[in-house]
């Protein structure tokens, strides 16, 4: 039931207003034919007997009062197909790689539907990313949403690529694919991603959706939804394990704010709309596993914290929805450490479900708790040293101080091409712990110390010191 109108009364920012329409549905998908022959797409945001508000995804440039507006009578649906693997699409889902249009197996509503919490399957499969600071300390689990909180100028893209390249599930040969979603990133960054994907062959098992900085910002509101709809299709129809990397969520939120202010809504904190939590949740909550299905959707959204401020509404609301966060720190970056992941404020809420005996290794939880506690103590001591000097520290305190350096230089640091297995990660952990006095290691049992740590105590460099 397509209805067509030529009654645009006003155009502001990304919105157009129409009058004298009849019975247009909320959320309807809209085509706009411009007088110059071009076509734009949009969606109904508010509808009443008198007036309809439409947000235009491609921006409102060139729209005039003579444009024809076609209401489709349905919500925005995208065509999906297995053949999308290995392709590059625009933010609206059109092919950018010169290939043919997608011949749809199905057309799906981009807003998806909430998973019935009762039918969710508890996530418990460990994903090895090959990055020690993540695998060892804040493990990623299938079906989790674990964002990377970063800042401008930090190597979060490099880290995301490393994860996309290296992510595997131990002892598992099931099919796996990466969906990469760019929102408002520069062409240069996009090239960097795509060339890396091509170089490493990751694109063969991947799909790219690109909305560049020069593309209309409003399109950023639909691109993550298109990507997640595609991911769900692969996960729940083809039993595939999908890793969705979305960068940069900050640009998404800016677009949301833009729409809010164009609609003259009452703004919430820092001008972001009051419904931003709900809106972000409708994206992040689409990660998960479903009872009785083999596939899964795992999300690694990336966001740059404005001014490195973790209390800014974007990281703040994200943190309340996602299952933890990986924090990329400027301090570590300045020290020349890659990946500059600050493990102390980082967290993976699902970690304990996916690690331990039969999953990773029996000592995983204990080692990571002990590394956490010791590193926290070492960092506290750094603060004291800067005031009173190293001399006034006790002998054991000095060991903790050295431990903090060891932890950063030996455990966290690795090359961006190094794919470190979980066993190696844990062994490095034990090795650096072995330099601490045994009676200060309260989080690990004597049994584990005997099994995993003592061998490092006999290492030659330790013997030399004594």
Partner 1 sequence: MTCGVINLQNKGTIYRVSGPVVTATNIDAKMNELVRVGKEGLFGEVIEIDYDKTIIQVYEDTSLLKPGDEVTTTGMPLSVDLGPGLLGSIYDGVQRPLPKLSQLMGEFIKRGAESPGIDREKKWEFFPLKKKGDKVNFGEAIGYVNENEHTKHFIMSPPNISGEIVEILEKGSYSVEEVLCKLDNGALIKMYQRWPVKVPRPFKDKMIPNVPLVTGKRIIDVLFPLAKGGTAAIPGPFGSGKTVTQQQLAKWSDTKVVVYIGCGERGNEMIDVLTEFPKLVDPVTGGPLMDRTVLIANTSNMPVAAREASIYTGITIAEYYRDMGYDVSLMADSTSRWAEAMREISSRLEEMPGEEGYPAYLSSRLSSFYERAGIVLTLGGKIGSVTVIGAVSPPGGDFSEPVVQNTLRITKTFWALDSNLSQKRHFPSINWLESYSLYYDSLKEWFESKVSIDWDRTRSEAMEILQKEAELQEIVQLVGADALPPDQQFLLEVARMLREIFLQQDSYHEVDEFHSLKRQFSLLNAIIRFSRLGNNAIENGIEIDKILKLESRAEISKVRYRKDFENKIGSINETMSKEFKVLLGEE
CA distance readout (Å), 115 to 119, 221, 238: 7, 21, 18
Smallest separation, CB 345 to partner 1 (Å)? 6
Query: The sheet that has 8-12: what strands, in order across it?
Result: 8-12, 15-19, 51-56
Q: How far apart are CA 40 and CA 46, in angstroms?
A: 19
Closest CB to partner 1 among residues 348, 425: 348
Smallest separation, CB 320 to partner 1 (Å)? 5
Q: Which of 42, 93, 123, 301 binds partner 1 (CB under 8 A)?
A: 123
Binding residue count for partner 1, defined by CB under 8 A? 83
Q: Interface residues for partner 1 in 365-404 (CB under 8 A)?
A: 369, 372-373, 376, 383-384, 387-388, 392-394
Smallest separation, CB 291 to partner 1 (Å)? 7
Q: Interface residues for partner 1 in 25-44 (CB under 8 A)?
A: 25-28
Query: What one-character DSSP code corresponds to residue 269?
Result: G
Q: Nearest to residue 20, comparing CAs of 47, 65, 50, 53?
A: 50
Closest CB to partner 1 among residues 11, 45: 45
Q: Nearest to residue 57, comparing CAs of 85, 25, 93?
A: 93
**Residues 148 and 300 sit within 8 Å (Cβ to Cβ):** yes
Tell me which H or E stretch contains 301. strand 296-304
Token readout for 212 is 């560049």
Query: What one-character DSSP code corresponds to residue 64?
Result: -
Q: Does 352 bind partner 1 (CB under 8 A)?
A: yes
Q: Interface residues for partner 1 in 404-423 (CB under 8 A)?
A: none
> Which residues face 120 on adjacent strands?
290
- In order, the DSSP letters of 302-319 are EEEPGGG-TTSHHHHHHH
Q: Which of 113, 173, 214, 463 binds partner 1 (CB under 8 A)?
A: 113
Token readout for 455 is 């061998």
Q: Which of 10, 12, 23, 417 binds partner 1 (CB under 8 A)?
A: 23
Closest CB to partner 1 among residues 28, 215: 28
Closest CB to partner 1 among residues 189, 380: 380
Closest CB to partner 1 among residues 2, 103: 2
Task: Return the SS3 of 329.
Answer: coil
Q: Which of 119, 335, 382, 462 binds partner 1 (CB under 8 A)?
A: 119
Task: Return the SS3 of 283.
Answer: helix
Q: Does 121 bind partner 1 (CB under 8 A)?
A: yes
Smallest separation, CB 323 to partner 1 (Å)? 6
The values of phi and psi at residue 108, to 5°, are: -120, 145
Smallest separation, CB 242 to partner 1 (Å)? 16
Q: Does 117 bind partner 1 (CB under 8 A)?
A: yes
Q: Interface residues for partner 1 in 38-97 (CB under 8 A)?
A: 45-49, 74-75
End-to-end CA distance of the chain: 85
Q: Interface residues for partner 1 in 129-188 (CB under 8 A)?
A: 143-144
Q: Does 466 bind partner 1 (CB under 8 A)?
A: no
Q: Does 448 bind partner 1 (CB under 8 A)?
A: no
Q: Interface residues for partner 1 in 223-282 (CB under 8 A)?
A: 236, 265-269, 273-275, 277-278, 281-282
By CB atoms closer than 10 A (0-12, 13-18, 19+), residue 48 is exposed
Q: Nearest to residue 233, comparing CAs of 295, 174, 282?
A: 295
- Number of other residues whose CB lies within 10 A of the CB of residue 286: 24
Q: Interface residues for partner 1 in 276-335 (CB under 8 A)?
A: 277-278, 281-282, 284-288, 290-293, 310-313, 316-317, 319-321, 323-325
Closest CB to partner 1 among residues 190, 327: 327
Smallest separation, CB 26 to partner 1 (Å)? 4
């Amino acid at each position: 039931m397509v209805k067509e109108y030529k009654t645009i009364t006003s155009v502001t920012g990304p919105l157009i207003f129409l009058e004298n329409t009849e019975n247009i549905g909320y959320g309807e998908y809209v085509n706009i034919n411009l007088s110059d022959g071009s076509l734009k797409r949009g969606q109904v945001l508010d509808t009443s007997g008198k007036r309809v508000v439409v947000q235009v995804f491609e921006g409102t440039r060139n729209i005039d009062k003579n444009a024809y507006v076609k209401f489709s009578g349905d919500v925005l649906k995208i065509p999906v197909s297995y053949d999308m693997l290995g392709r590059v699409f625009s933010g609206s889902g059109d092919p950018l790689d010169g290939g043919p249009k997608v011949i749809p197996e199905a057309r799906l509503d981009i807003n998806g539907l909430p998973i019935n919490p009762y039918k969710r399957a508890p996530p418990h499969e460990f994903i090895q990313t090959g990055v020690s600071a993540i695998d060892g300390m804040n493990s990623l689990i299938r079906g989790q949403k674990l964002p990377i909180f970063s800042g401008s100028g930090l190597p979060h893209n490099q880290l995301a690529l490393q994860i996309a390249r290296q992510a595997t599930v131990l002892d598992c040969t099931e099919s796996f694919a990466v969906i990469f979603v760019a929102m408002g990133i520069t062409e240069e960054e996009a090239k960097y991603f795509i060339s890396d994907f091509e170089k490493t062959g990751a694109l063969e098992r991947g799909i790219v959706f690109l909305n560049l900085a020069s593309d209309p910002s409003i399109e950023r509101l639909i691109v993550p939804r298109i990507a997640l709809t595609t991911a769900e299709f692969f996960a729940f129809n083809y039993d595939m394990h999908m890793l969705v990397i979305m960068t940069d969520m900050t640009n998404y939120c800016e677009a949301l704010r833009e729409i809010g202010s164009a609609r003259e809504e009452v703004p919430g904190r820092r001008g972001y709309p009051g419904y931003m939590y709900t809106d972000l949740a409708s994206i992040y909550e689409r990660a998960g596993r479903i009872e009785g299905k083999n596939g899964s959707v795992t999300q690694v959204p990336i966001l740059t914290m404005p001014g490195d401020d973790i209390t800014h509404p974007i990281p703040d609301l994200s943190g309340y929805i996602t299952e933890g966060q990986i924090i990329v720190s400027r301090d570590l970056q300045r020290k020349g450490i890659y990946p500059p992941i600050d493990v102390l404020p980082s967290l993976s809420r699902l970690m304990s479900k996916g690690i331990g005996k039969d999953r990773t290794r029996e000592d995983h939880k204990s080692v990571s708790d002990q590394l956490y506690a010791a590193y926290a103590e070492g960092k506290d001591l750094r603060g004291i040293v800067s005031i009173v000097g190293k001399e006034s520290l006790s002998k054991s305190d000095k060991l903790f101080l050295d431990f903090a350096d060891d932890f950063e230089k030996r455990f966290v640091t690795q090359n961006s091409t190094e794919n470190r297995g979980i066993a190696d990660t844990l062994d490095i952990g034990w090795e650096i712990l072995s330099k601490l006095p045994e009676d200060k290691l309260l989080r690990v049992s004597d049994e584990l110390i005997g099994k995993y740590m003592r061998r490092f105590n006999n290492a030659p460099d330790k013997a030399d010191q004594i």
